[in-house]
Structure 1
Amino acid sequence: MSDHTYSTALAWTGSTGAGYRDYDRDHTLGLGGANHLVASADAAFRGDSRLPNPEQLLVAAASSCQLLSFLAVAAFAGIDVVAYDDDATGRMPQGDSPMRITEIELRPMIRVRGADAANVAALVERAHEECYIANSLSGTVRVTPRIEVVS
Structure 2
Amino acid sequence: MAEHRYRVDVVWTGATTDHRSYSRNHEVLATGRPPVRGSADPVIGRGDPERWNPEQLLLASLSQCHMLWYLHLCADAGIVVVDYLDQAEGVMNSQQFEQVTLRPRVTITDGDRAEQARALHTQAHQRCFIANSVNFPVNHEPDIRTE
TM-score, structure 1 length as denominator?
Answer: 0.92
Secondary structure class of the residue paired with 1:102: strand
* Structure 1 residue 126 corresponds to structure 2 residue 123: yes
1:32 is displaced (CA, Å) by: 2.5
1:118-144 deviations in Å (ceiling 9; x for gaps): 111111111111111101111111111
Quote the Cα distance in structure 2 between the aligned partners of 1:32 and 1:67: 24
Structure 1 residue ranges, 4+ long, deviating more than 4 angstroms after superposition: none
C-alpha distance in 2, partners of 1:2/1:64? 22
Correspondence 1:48-59 to 2 at 5 A: 48-59=48-59
What are the Cα deviations for residues 6-49 of structure 1, in whole angstroms up to 9, with x where unaligned?
Answer: 110110000111x1100000001003224211110000210011
Q: 2: distance between equivalents of 1:111 and 1:81?
A: 6
Deviation at 1:52, TM superposition (A): 0.7
Aligned length: 145
Q: In the TM superposition, what whole-angstrom CA distance separates every residue of 1:81-123 from its partner, at most 9, and x where no partner exists?
A: 00000111111112xxxx1112111101000011421111111
Kindly state the Cα deviation for residue 146 of structure 1 after the two structures are TM-superposed: 0.3
The answer for the alignment partner of 1:28 in structure 2 is: 27
Which deviates more, 120-129 or 63-72?
120-129
Give the equivalent residue in structure 1 for 2:133.
136
Match of 1:62 in 2: 62
Paired with 1:72 and 1:34, the residues of 2 have a C-alpha distance of 24
Counterpart of 2:114?
117
Unaligned runs of 5+ in 2: none
TM-score (norm 2): 0.94
Shift of 1:50: 1.1
Partner SS, residue 97 of structure 2: coil
Corresponding position of 1:76: 76
Equivalence for 2:36: 37
Quote the sequence identity (%). Answer: 39
Aligned partners of 2:38, 2:30: CA distance in 1, in Å? 12
| 1:51-99 C-alpha deviation (Å, 9 max, x unpaired) | 11000000000000010000000000010000000111111112xxxx1
